[in-house]
Amino acid sequence: MRDDESRPAWGVTSKATALHGDALVWDNHTCLPLRPDAAFLPQLERFREAGVDAVTVNVMFDGIMSWHDGVKVLTFFRDWLVQRPELYVLVKTAEDITDAKASGRLAVLFDIEGMAALDGQLSLLRTYYDLGVRWMLIAYNRNNRAGGGCLDADTGLTPFGREVLGRAAELGMLICCSHTGERTCMEVFEYSSNPVILSHSNPKAMLDHPRNVSDEVMKACAATGGVVGTCGFGMFLRNGDTSAENLVRHIDYAVNLVGPDHVGLGLDFVFDEEELKTFLGKGGILGEEHPVPDMFAPEDMPALTEALLGMGYPETTIRGILGENWLRVARGVWKGNELLGV
Ligand SMILES: [Zn+2]
């Protein structure tokens, strides 16, 4: 029910509606189909309608597709978004995100899961950055040239991985350690001169799964100035429960462990369930056919704000978790963009 004519019908309390509408809400990881195909792209509107202001869209990950097929996806998404300037802002700077919110447009940026995308060539970091990729993770489940994955015999950050950290810092590319092996994570935190994020990683203490992260990793990430993003993918949540109430239990664990300034959202919603089934098999999470797990959907976002209010958190804490914490990291790490003239 509408509180008044100007407010959306999110089905939450008027207090939650007001806060959700006013706060910067940034989901730092979502998965559109990895094909140069516009079929699902209009579904980005689901975020806007749910009061989300910024969304980070995955464009490729290790082991599933070649980096050049990933570039085709990335450039296709960019082209589609750039043709709709009344609806979308292609993010170059942190200020683009706040400007997009002020103008009622959805801010969109990109991420890449794994340094196989570099094919051993550091200069591709700049190319991806120029094309709007604002974070890259080190290794997606399996070891690569940069470091170890969380489902592999993690042999640590490699000399090439150290070079990646240096070049990324020069460019302003944010580094993420989700999907990365624990030893490699700790070495990235040690050697990175910038804050490092875990864009979509839940506490192992809530569910012991290799994709979830230990207290030690969460604390070391926060110590860099980084943020741990709560993931809404049922496989990585206690009891597979994707309700807002259960998600908030995971958030609360992280808040108590690393402090409210170091917790955010990377909900990992996958739009195309058929593609997800294929990737779950090939990606090494299970290695075989698996039913599609429940996921926390964009439409659930207002209920999440309501559930955070229900925890008794101060508004500043909730604003931090919803998006301000990612914004702080972006302001500290991202740099200008030569190609795009910013
Ligand atoms: Zn992922």
Q: What pLDDT was estimated at residue 290?
A: 65
Distance from residue 169's CA to the centre of ligand 1 (Å):
22
Residue 314, CB-side half-sphere exposure with 13 Å CA sphere: 6
Distance CA 49, CA 46 (A): 5
- pLDDT tens string 233-253: 999 999 999 999 999 999 999
Distance from residue 67's CA to the centre of ligand 1 (Å):
16
Distance from residue 275's CA to the centre of ligand 1 (Å):
14
Q: What pLDDT was estimated at residue 292?
A: 79
Residues spanned by the domain of 260:
14-333
Distance from residue 291's CA to the centre of ligand 1 (Å):
17
Distance from residue 14's CA to the centre of ligand 1 (Å):
34
Nearest to 257 by CA among 295, 296, 230: 230
CATH code assigned at 151: 3.20.20.140
Within a domain: 178: yes
Q: What pLDDT was estimated at residue 2?
A: 43
Distance from residue 13's CA to the centre of ligand 1 (Å):
32
Within a domain: 257: yes
Within a domain: 242: yes
Within a domain: 2: no
Nearest to 209 by CA among 186, 185, 234: 234
Hey, how many other C-beta atoms are within 10 angstroms of the C-beta on 206? Answer: 19
Residue with structure tokens 């239990």?
249
Q: What pLDDT was estimated at residue 207?
A: 97
Within a domain: 4: no
Within a domain: 84: yes
Q: What pLDDT was estimated at residue 63?
A: 86
- Amino acid at residue number 298: P
pLDDT in tens, the chain (342 residues): 444 556 678 999 999 999 999 999 999 999 999 999 999 999 999 999 999 999 999 999 998 889 999 999 999 999 999 999 999 999 999 999 999 999 999 999 999 999 999 999 999 999 999 999 999 999 999 999 999 999 999 999 999 999 999 999 999 999 999 999 999 999 999 999 999 999 999 999 999 999 999 999 999 999 999 999 999 999 999 999 999 999 999 999 999 999 999 999 999 999 998 888 877 766 555 555 567 789 999 999 999 999 999 999 999 999 999 999 999 999 999 996 554 555
Hey, how many other C-beta atoms are within 10 angstroms of the C-beta on 91? Answer: 24
Conformational region of residue 161, where left means phi above 0, alpha means psi within -120 to 50, and beta covers everything else: alpha
Domains in the chain, number: 1
Q: What pLDDT was estimated at residue 59?
A: 97
Distance from residue 122's CA to the centre of ligand 1 (Å):
22
Within a domain: 339: no
Within a domain: 338: no
Distance from residue 200's CA to the centre of ligand 1 (Å):
7
- pLDDT tens string 87-115: 999 999 999 999 999 999 999 999 999 99
